[in-house]
Structure 1
Amino acid sequence: MLKEIYIKSCLLVLCAIVLFTSSCNKSLDAPSVEVSPEQTHWRSISDTKAALIGMYGLLRAAMVDNNAHWMYGELRSGDFNSYRRQDLSAVKESELNKSYPVLENLSNWRRFYAVINATSLFIEKAPQVLEYDTRYTKYNLELDVAQAKAIRAFTYFYLVRIWGDVPLITSSFDNGSFPEFERTDYRNVLAFAERDLIDAVELLPFRYGVAPQEYYGEFSSNWQKILFNKISGYAILSHMAAWQGKYLDVASYTQFILDNYTQSNIAYLQNASPSGTGEAGLAGYYGIFTNNFNFGQIINFSSAYEFGEASTSGHIEELTLAAPFINKAYPDIYVSKDSINSMFSERNDRRFGVDTLSGLYRESYFKNYNNEIPVFSKINIIRDGVSDGDYAVFGSNLVFTRLEELTLLRAEALTVLGQDLRAIELLNVIKAMRGTASYQVSQLTTKPLLEEIFAERRRELIGEGWRFYDLIRLNRIKAIDPKVTQLINQGGIHWPISREVLRNNKKIVQNSYWN
């Protein structure tokens, strides 16, 4: 059963992290150690099953450690402010070389190389299971290796966005004996990742375990929020291309997604209300951030209560929630009223606006707007009956990308390519679902289309880890914000490399901006 797979794979992830942190002190100070002895592992289909889910577990753990995903992409230079935490204020202001433990931990890339090592090991070792277990078929192997390549490619993309040039490692290393690696030009890293992904998407299915054929004993409904599929692969390719300014490729990849997403049981989120009515929505019981969501997802990292994945940390709620949701006076981070008003200027916006009948604020995204510190409540998944601020258990999924995000990314690409009319159509798809006024062709001369697309991304995707990266892409296309433009020109968009990494691998050179 899938729950048993999760338990075994979570144990593997835990052991990998413990062994990795205790034994990998030299050289790159990054790649993971495979925990299962070679004499007993890679012999049966249960081994590949556990290792496969373990790779996803390692990736999620790397992304949420110290709330990294939101620190990197949401807090830095974004709309959230810190309430009384100086370390979080340092992230907000891009003062990343200050001496705070959280900054040192966030500057260390070793947990991401744990993922890369696990994927490389899987690619190398899984084929031998064919020799030992007749239940493991060539078809199983092809799907599994394709996912390992996709996870490795995604991880390298994630690394490049954070640190720029990073070591490119294409094979596994065991027992802590790692040679020292230099940093590789980020373009070569992404070129390798792109080749891996192009290989993978040819084999990745739209859905796993489509009846009557099971995948690891489960049908598609049990896999659709867990595994990377063909649409996931094209989504990663889209963002890798956008990060490099290759908008022709973005247009091509996103066209495939919009033509084929229904084959993966993916839907647009029509409902922005936290109440939920059973239709696909953003917030609430049926919202995209819970496993009650009835549709598949493009790139999603589950935290389901039923699998014991909910926790007190590694969720944005740990930073953003306060009373009346949990027993905590003020959130660690919040969005000021000025920023809220700047983002949501239309009264009819279903995400945050004024209900014309009651005159009250719609609270899909924010609660207690009339208080001094509004609470960001868009992502708000708390275990029933647990409300103490020190022990609140959160169960929100980390949604890396969804259909609305990729629709706006395609609109961005088409605008850069001069296809304004097609871009406007896509922008208005999102605006119509959120109850806001359509963008008109007549506004092209008074309200720049590119900026309006990014403004819509700001509204739609707040809290999902995109804001800082959106600012970088926007200002690479059109220098609007002098501070962001300066960071881009001076290499300050990348994080410093932790002191621990520099101590343990003399071939690693610090990003020049932080010298």
Structure 2
Amino acid sequence: MNILSKKLAIPALAFALLSLGSCSKWLDLKPQEGVVAEDYWQTKEQVRAAVNGLYISLITSPLTQELFMHGEIRTDMVEVSTFAPQPYTEYRFADMLPTNSFSNWGTFYRIINYCNNVIDNAPGVKELDPTFTQADLDAYIGEALAIRAWMYLNLARIWGDVPIKLTYTASDEDLAAIAKSPQRNVLDAVVADLVRAEPMVRETFGNTAADKGKITRYTVNALLADTYLWQDEFQKATDVCDKIIDAEIFELVSGDASTWLSELFGQGNSIEGIFELQYDRQQLNPFYALFRQNAIYTAGQNVYEVLFQFDAADPENFDVRGDRGALSTATNMIYKYHGLNRTQTKSLEESYTHWMVYRYADVLLMKAEALNGLNRGQEALDLIYMIRERGNAMQGTDLNPGADDQQGITTFIVEERAREFAYEGKRWFDVLRNAGRNNYERIDLITSMIVGFAPPDRQQSMLAKYRDVNSHYLPIYYIEMQRSGGVLEQNPFYGN
């Protein structure tokens, strides 16, 4: 069991701060009656509790379920089972409407508001508590900035254009409808927060669980690399990846079949982990029910045979990320989140596998994507093959592009990311990001994926919808539209 939960234990008052936010008004940000800000922000201990509360909000909210859904449900990696309620199938088969509850962005904005609370109110505590150092204040604000940036990055890649709210909503008087900002401006705001946070946050907290479960400088750089890729800022992405690589404190875990899954996921907080949401026995993850007990999601029908492949002549030669790594071929069950190792699974009471936000393999493949964007194809290929060698990728999955074949390398990267990060909530975003470059020069990455999983009777309808690039982003939930009083404009694909 990891120890971070003990370090994140927070007093009842801090939990009360996290509960501020069930409102019937715009963005669902208004606090409930209870703790009043001026009664709370008095000591450095209260600031620490509020920041620790940010991490609690990441694992007690529906965040990870939503990140999985938004990253996987529109892809060839999963199937949606007969246990799934209608909103899942609507999302899966491009029948999404503004009335679908999965178009509700409330989880992300509530966490943003918790971050804004810290960013706005923590500085005043330094004037009241002489023991509160500037370095500690900066570190706490840096953590809040980075978490806020991560939430806005998610909003930008799920909804596209979204409102930007950078101040705390504490009362009805603070509630005012805000128009959407273009996606490019949202990404600029993400970068601004991260650039500000980078020199403020700690490089280490002094113990492994906290270094993997809280925001460090390396987390900030990974977030920056990700965001820069969405902006096509390839040199900047390369540079921040190099900051992580050059630190020489992260490594790929061994590709040994007996240890790969158990080190990375069964136990967690491995030498490869950069930022992992820390579930434990006191706060179980939600994935046992989603993937195993009346499973809503199962592995895609052709994932193993097409994506991972196998060696029919030698059953001992296999991609360690495939069978009983990402999925179980015997049951088509998503295995990664409840496998203790290749032969043992966790019970419901042991369902505390962490949610991976970033790990070192991601940094290497993000750098490969950036290098390919800079026409440094051989360097990109060297990194891809490093990941493939660790995973023991099958020869049949080697696309073998030439160093000057930029489009071929792009396809290779997207496919290798699917193998490496299967069911880690990244697939849709990887496809969308690479498809959308140069005015959707690679729209085929999306359409070929749709052809791969759409039922025959839905295929043409889904393809027609996905050829409209506005369909790649979700509608604004109808209740938010009503609350905004006409200030919000609906995504044009879904009408007004």
- Short-chain TM bin: 0.7 to 0.9
- State the one-letter code of the partner of 2:243: F
Alignment check: 8 A CA contact 1:289 1:399 kept: no
Question: Would the aligned equivalents of 1:407 and 1:426 in 2 still touch at CA under 8 Å?
Answer: yes
d(CA) in 1 for partners of 2:425 and 2:215?
19
Return the structure number with greater helix share.
2
Q: Secondary structure in 2 aligned to 1:334? A: strand
Q: Distance between the aligned counterparts of 1:204 and 1:48, measured in 2?
A: 15
- CA 1:183 to 1:9, structure 2 compared with 1: closer, same or farther past 3 Å? farther
Alpha-carbon deviations, 1:130-180, whole Å to 9, x = none?
A: 233333211111111111111111111111111111111121121343122
1:238 is aligned, of 225, 228, 235, to 225
Structure 1 residues 45 and 17: alpha-carbon distance in aligned structure 2, compared to 1, 3 A threshold: closer
Unaligned segments of structure 2, at least 5 residues: 451-462
Deviations 1:225-245 (A, max 9, x none): 221111111111111111122
**Counterpart in the other structure of 1:490:** 469
Partner AA of 2:303 in structure 1: S
How far apart, in 1, do the equivalents of 2:12 and 2:97 lie?
33
- Within 5 Å, which residues of 2 pair with 1:501-512? 501-506=480-485, 507-512=487-492
8 Å Cα contact 1:251-1:410 kept in structure 2: yes
Q: Which runs of 5+ in 1 are unaligned?
A: 209-218, 322-327
Name the CA distance, whole Å, in 2 between partners of 1:91 and 1:271.
35
Matched, 1:187 2:184: yes
Distance, in Å, in 1 between the alignment partners of 2:312 and 2:387 is 14
> Out of 268, 281, 289, which is 1:318 matched to?
289
Residue 185 of structure 1 deviates from its aligned partner by 1.7
Shift of 1:126: 1.2
How many angstroms apart in 1 are the aligned matches of 2:32 and 2:150?
A: 20
Q: Which residue of 2 aligns with 1:7?
A: 9
Name the CA distance, whole Å, in 1 between partners of 2:154 and 2:407: 32
Contact 1:241/1:247 (CA < 8 Å) preserved in 2? Answer: yes
Look up the SS of the partner of 2:361 in the other structure: helix
Distance 2:188 2:129 in 1: 35
TM-score with structure 2 length normalisation? 0.83
Contact 1:224 1:297 in 2 (8 A): no
Percent identity, aligned pairs only, is 20
Q: Is the 8 A contact 1:10 1:54 kept in 2?
A: no
- Identify if the C-alpha distance between structure 1 residues 16 and 509 changes in structure 2 by more than 3 Å, giving closer, same or farther: farther
- The aligned counterpart of 1:479 is 443
Query: How far did residue 482 of structure 1 move?
Result: 6.0
1:206 paired with 2:203, answer yes
Output the amino acid matched with 1:227: K
Take 1:30 and 1:511, find their aligned partners in 2: how far apart are those partners?
22
1:302-317 matches, cutoff 5 A? 302-305=278-281, 308-311=282-285, 313=286, 315=287, 317=288
Q: Please say if 1:131 is aligned against 2:127.
A: yes
Once residues 290 and 10 of structure 1 are traced to their aligned partners in structure 2, the CA distance between those partners, rounded to angstroms, is 30
Residue equivalent to 1:408:
365
| Residue 18 of structure 1, CA deviation | 4.5
The count of aligned residue pairs is 461
- For residue 455 of structure 1, what is the amino acid of its counterpart? E
* Match in the other structure for 2:39: 40
In the TM superposition, what is the alpha-carbon distance from 1:36 to its structure 2 partner?
Answer: 3.1
TM-score by length of 1: 0.81
- Alpha-carbon distance in structure 2 between the residues aligned to 1:362 and 1:271: 14
Partners in 1 of 2:54 and 2:33 — Cα distance? 11
How far apart in 2 are the matches of 1:432 and 1:467?
21
Query: Deviations 1:87-122 (Å, cap 9, x if unpaired)?
Result: 3222222322186xxx41x21222222222221221
Root mean square deviation, CA, Å: 3.2
For 1:168 and 1:139, locate their aligned partners in 2 and report how far apart those are by CA, in whole Å.
28
2:326, 2:336 within 8 Å by CA — same for their partners in 1? yes
Contact 1:74 1:463 in 2 (8 A): yes
Matched, 1:54 2:12: no
Q: Aligned partners of 2:117, 2:403: CA distance in 1, in Å?
A: 54
